Amino acid sequence: MNRFSALINNIRDLLQGDLTADSVVPPSGYTANLTTFTAGAMAFLAVFALALSLATGRLADRWSDELARTTTIRISAPEGQMQAQLDAVINVLNTTSGIESSSVMSDDAQRRLLEPWFGPDLPLETLPIPRLVEVIEKDDGPDMEGLRLRLSAEAPGAVLDDHTRWRRPLVNAAQRLRSLGTFSILLIMGATAAMITLAAQSALAANGQVISVLRLVGARDVYIARAFVRRFTVRALLGAAIGTGLGMTAMVFLPSAAEEGAFLTGLGFQGWHWLIPALIPPLAAIVAFWATRGAALRALARIS
């Protein structure tokens, strides 16, 4: 609570305060432009890190959500035994706990599934095509090993196709990518803080004369710090706003997501996620605020 009200006070100080006080820091075009440029470049990178993080997050969620709760049982049996094995499988499923529902895929559905490979006129009845049973699991799904054993006992032609086997590594990879994206954003923030600290330190060192005059006439450290802090916060905000704008423009011109699951084309922002990059400039300003303030107060503490 105390910290919070201190933060509010700091921000209020920063916003109102006495704007003419800023003029004690001489305008220095070159380093100012460097700060703006770096903040802009960092914001630009942050937009992409954010997009990567959000897109992989979406992917991981979808894969684990959609696929995690469905399992397929494939039954291949000679013509005469098919129906018996199918009944046996349904029976096993009905007596297994952890299963929400199961349904035998209809001929039509199966034909549609195979159409891309064999064309629309596939004589399904005359071909030894395996039958598929789609199983929807409950939240805490069935004991897969137990189910597999029972199936092999009751219906030797049934194969439990547990998607998690091949899905897991994909979900893992997507989650790993998401953490990398998040980590990159943190790195970018850290690099911004470091860069602004260096710039602020050099500004403080270059203005030793100004600082000693201010101290001589009774300026408190926070007053002196504020003049520098405001400069750097405004520069970082401006640079980050430009960088974010450019980054988002680039995102707009990425090819749009053609099809669900197409990873590369789905890299952009979707829906309300377009609003998230708007946080980058204020975040850069907050980072600049604390970095400059820390650098200034540390530097001032060394001056009597």
Partner 1 sequence: MLHLQEAGFSYGGREILSGVNLDVAPGSFYFLTGPSGAGKTTFLRLCYQALMPTKGVVRILDRDVRGLHREDIAQIRRRIGVVHQDCQFVDHMNMEDNIRMPLQVSGRNTELDDRSFQDLISWVGLSAHMSALPPELSSGERQRAALARAVVMSPDLILADEPTGNLDWEMAQKILTLLIELNKMGKTVIVATHDLQLIRTAKSKVAARVLRLANNNIQLAGADL
Nearer to partner 1 by C-beta: 21 or 257?
Answer: 21
Binding to partner 1, residues 215-274 (CB under 8 A): 215-221, 223
For the CB of residue 28, give the shortest distance to partner 1 in the complex, in Å: 10
Instruction: Pick the closest to residue 131 from 151, 158, 152, 94 (CA basis).
Output: 158
Binding to partner 1, residues 88-107 (CB under 8 A): none
What b/e string do you get for 67-98 counting C-beta neighbours within 10 Å, with b at 16 or more? bbeebebebebeeeebeebbebbbebbeebee
Give the range of 39-47, 90-98, 206-214, 237-245 binding partner 1 by CB under 8 A: 206-214
Give the range of 75-83, 192-200, 210-218, 241-249 binding partner 1 by CB under 8 A: 210-218
For the CB of residue 222, give the shortest distance to partner 1 in the complex, in Å: 9
Strand order of the β-sheet with 158-161 is 99-104, 131-137, 70-75, 158-161
Nearer to partner 1 by C-beta: 2 or 23?
Answer: 23
The torsion region of residue 29 among left (phi > 0), alpha (psi -120 to 50) and beta comes to alpha
Binding of partner 1 by 16 (CB under 8 A): no
Nearer to partner 1 by C-beta: 20 or 94?
Answer: 20
Give the range of 18-26, 34-42, 96-104, 268-276 binding partner 1 by CB under 8 A: 18-26
**What DSSP designation does 27 have?**
P
For the CB of residue 207, give the shortest distance to partner 1 in the complex, in Å: 9
What tokens appear for 38 in the block?
């770096």
Query: In 63-163, which ranges are continuous DSSP H helix?
Result: 68, 82-94, 107-118, 144-154
**Binding residue (CB under 8 A) for partner 1 from 210, 250, 257, 286:** 210
**Binding residue (CB under 8 A) for partner 1 from 18, 66, 87, 100:** 18
**Binding residue (CB under 8 A) for partner 1 from 2, 5, 16, 20:** 20
Residue type at position 86? L
**What DSSP designation does 273 have?**
G
**Non-local CB neighbours of 41 within 8 Å, separated by 6+ positions:** 243
CA atoms of 58 and 251, how far apart (whole Å): 17
For the CB of residue 256, give the shortest distance to partner 1 in the complex, in Å: 52
For the CB of residue 304, give the shortest distance to partner 1 in the complex, in Å: 5
Binding of partner 1 by 304 (CB under 8 A): yes
Q: What are phi and psi of 25, to 5 degrees?
A: -90, 120
The greatest distance separating any two alpha carbons of the chain, rounded to the nearest whole angstrom, comes to 103
State the number of binding residues for partner 1 (CB under 8 A).
22
Give the range of 77-85, 119-127, 211-219, 230-238 binding partner 1 by CB under 8 A: 211-219
Q: Helix or strand or coil: residue 129?
A: coil
For the CB of residue 289, give the shortest distance to partner 1 in the complex, in Å: 21
Binding of partner 1 by 298 (CB under 8 A): no
Rg of the chain's alpha carbons, rounded to an integer?
31
**Binding residue (CB under 8 A) for partner 1 from 206, 213, 252, 278:** 213
Q: Helix or strand or coil: residue 103?
A: strand
Binding residues for partner 1 (CB under 8 A): 18, 20-21, 23-24, 26-27, 209-210, 212-221, 223, 301, 304
